[in-house]
Amino acid sequence: MDILDLLGYLGALIIGVVLGLIGGGGSILTVPVLVYLLSINPVTATAYSLFIVGTSSLIGAGNYVKKELVDFRTATVFSIPAFIAVYSTRKYLLPAIPEQMVTIGNFEITKGIGIMLFFAVIMVVASISMIRDNGKEVKMETKVKYNFPLIIIEGIVVGVLTGIVGAGGGFLIIPALVLLAKLPMKKAVATSLLIIAVKSLIGFLGDVQNLEIDWVFLLIFTGLSILGIFLGGYLNKFIDGEKLKKGFGWFVLVMGIYIIWKEMF
């Protein structure tokens, strides 16, 4: 095992710690860790990320279920179009993308490069969301109101994005739950974890049929991430999560820009 392998497994622990500390965002690091530190093909990395993110989110959602903060009806309404979209993307859309996407002179964008560039753009958007988050709580509503057409559209969009890049998409789901389902922020965060878990794990099923999965590696990496979640939950008692979230947002922004530079040049 070389230094990059060690850093990759350390990255698994850090991903979990970030998830435990700020309740989201850590999953956006999964694909870069798998690709750049552990030298895993981008398509396979996004598949592994779905399993890692889905399992980690399920653990987090379980904690919120005990606190009765998960709105199961809203999770169901949002999850159905999302998991149909993510499964279809992994099973049919991603395999249909050609290995050589664009060729301009000597410049060539392969499928792997295209996925990483798209992922980097998502990282930049997510980082801006984390940096600008003002942390204001939405007042508790006595009745949840649904905008069904927009929720379905949002679910499909999030499902397709998740299917392509393998990230959870919490930065898109949480605002949708607050604005479209009128959920208070704490319930939106809790419910989003259940949605992320369901759609990510169902999306991964689309990969099981297309890819050869290294289950030993995947379970070890996922186990380290879960361990990190519990460690992050403990550290959360001593660290201001909101301040950390903004700092992590800047880190993700730099990482996104670096990936664009690395893949293009």
Compute the distance between CA of residue 145 and CA of residue 77 in angstroms, rounded to an integer: 12
Q: Write out pLDDT tens, residues 144-200.
A: 566 778 888 888 988 898 888 877 677 778 777 877 778 887 888 888 888 888 888
Q: Write out pLDDT tens, residues 39-68.
A: 999 999 999 999 998 998 898 888 888 888
Domain count, the chain: 1
- Over 80: is that where the pLDDT of 225 sits? yes
- Over 80: is that where the pLDDT of 243 sits? no
Residues 43-63 as b or e (16 or more Cβ within 10 Å = b): bbbbbbbbbbbbbbbbbbbeb
Its pTM surpasses 0.75: yes
154: nearest Cα among 171, 136, 137: 171
Compute the distance between CA of residue 89 and CA of residue 94 in angstroms, rounded to an integer: 6
Compute the distance between CA of residue 8 and CA of residue 68 in angstroms, rounded to an integer: 35
- Quick one: pLDDT at residue 26? 66
**Rounded mean pLDDT of the chain?**
85
- Beta bridge partner(s), residue 109: 102
Element (H, E) at 56: helix 42-66
Structural domain boundaries enclosing 59: 3-264
- Quick one: pLDDT at residue 189? 81
